[in-house]
Each structure stands twice: as structure tokens, then as C-alpha cells.
Amino acid sequence: MKQGEDINAVFLRGEAVTDPVYSHTAGGRRFYTFPICVERLSGRTDTLNVLVAEEELEKTPFAAGDTVTVEGSMRSCNHVENGKSRLILSILAKSILKEDGPPENRIELTGTLCKPPVYRITPLGRELCDVMLASRRKYGRSDFLPLILWGKNAKTASEFTTGTTISCKGRVQSREYIKRTEEGDIVKTAYEVSVAEVSAIEPVTE
């Protein structure tokens, strides 16, 4: 880990759902986006949004239906629409390869809790805890990433306080939910990190 920068590493292997399409230009670079579908061991799937720079696409052209391996990091940005701010999450690809292989979905993060953990027990008696993690990039910016923890990990996370620095491993998941509006129910998709391992990082003392 470089000084002033947290660990934020994602490894995915799955099927490109569509061809890459132009997204935006930033810093003079053109970026494209496409959804990748990764199967879980349970047979369910996670469909995640990938951003990739044009120069990487030129190295490895691919199309809808191809199996691709993506290495990169999880990024967040705030999108304001109708006066409301919404957190947009995506995977920024550092490299993409077109290759066959078993599905993979791994993420490793370090960062600092920027809100108090929210611990609760479901009607079926399962413990879970929601955490918002601030993971620092270079040059002082941070990505704000929602984590969900279950069982023993949920209990551990519930004892953390705002400002605690943690390390975790897990997978990036997509989850559909229903939002009730005046116009009727709308199906939405939430993205979060499902945590399999978590621990607090002890501060370095002189």
C-alpha cells in the first residue's frame, strides 16, 4: 500500500452482457462502460458495471457474450438528479483480458469508517451490519463504499466506531429491491461489498 493510499483491488471473471458503449471523457481520456455478469456458487448472478479506458479496449477487443477477466478497483461518485444526490458505484478496470475460466469475484479493501455501523437482526434471526467505508485514492480523494456483513462478522463490525480503520475481503454484489413511490413500485438495484473477512487495523505508534 502506497503512503496516503488505501488498498482497493477487485478481480472479476464473467460474461460481458453487452458490447462496451461510450460513457464519458475525463482528463482527455475516453471511457466506455459495460455490465459483467458473474455467477455465484449458489447459481445466482451478480451483474456489475465496469468502466474501462479506450486504450485498454484497443489492447483487448471483446463483445457481448465473451468471457473476460477484469482487474481494477471499486469507485464511487455522486450523481445529482432532480435535486437529489445518489451514490453511483462501478468497477474501474486497470486491465481486461478475453479468456475462458471459472467465475471469479474478489475484492480486498482497507479504509476508514465514515459513519456509525448499523446493526440489526432480520425477521429470520440473521445478524447483519451495514458499514460505509471511505477508501483513499491518490491525491486526497476517497471512494465511499457500502459494505454488508453477516453473522460473526456483523457482530464484530457493530463494535467499530466512526474513524476505525479496517481491512476486509469479500465480493462485489448486486441486489434488487423495491422502492415504493407515488407512481407505484419501482425495481431498483443496489451494489455493495459482501464481506467474508474483516479486522480492525491497529494504528502505527512511534
Here the cell at position 19 is 458490447
pLDDT above 90: residue 156: yes
pLDDT-derived band at 4 (thresholds 50, 70, 90) equals confident
**pLDDT of 1 higher than 50:** no
- Just give the CATH number of 8-108: 2.40.50.140
Cβ proximity of 50 and 21 under 8 Å: no
pLDDT tens track for 108-142: 999 999 999 999 999 999 999 999 999 999 888 99
| Contact call for residues 88 and 76 (beta carbons, < 8 A) | yes
C-alpha to C-alpha distance for 46 and 48, rounded to whole angstroms:
6
C-alpha cell at 18: 453487452
Write down the domain spans for the chain. Answer: 8-108, 110-200
Strand partners of residue 106: 11
| Residue at grid coordinates 459495460 | 34
CA distance 11 to 40: 14
The answer to whether residues 88 and 80 touch, using CB atoms and an 8 Å cutoff, is no
Q: Do domains 8-108 and 110-200 have the same CATH topology?
A: yes
2-26 average pLDDT score: 92
DSSP state, 201? Answer: P
pTM over 0.75: yes
Instruction: State whether residue 27 is helix, strand or coil.
Output: coil
Does the pLDDT value for residue 17 go beyond 70? Answer: yes
pLDDT at position 64 over 70? yes
Superfamily of domain covering 110-200: Nucleic acid-binding proteins (2.40.50.140)
pLDDT of residue 79: 74
| Percentage of residues of the chain with pLDDT beyond 70 | 95
Specify which residues 67 forms β-bridges with.
Answer: 15
Predicted pLDDT of residue 72: 98
Residues 6+ apart with CB under 8 A from 35: 16, 17, 18, 47, 48, 49, 50
pLDDT of 46 reads 97
What are the residues whose beta carbons fall under 8 Å from the beta carbon of 69, sequence distance 6 or more? 11, 12, 13, 96, 97, 99, 101, 104
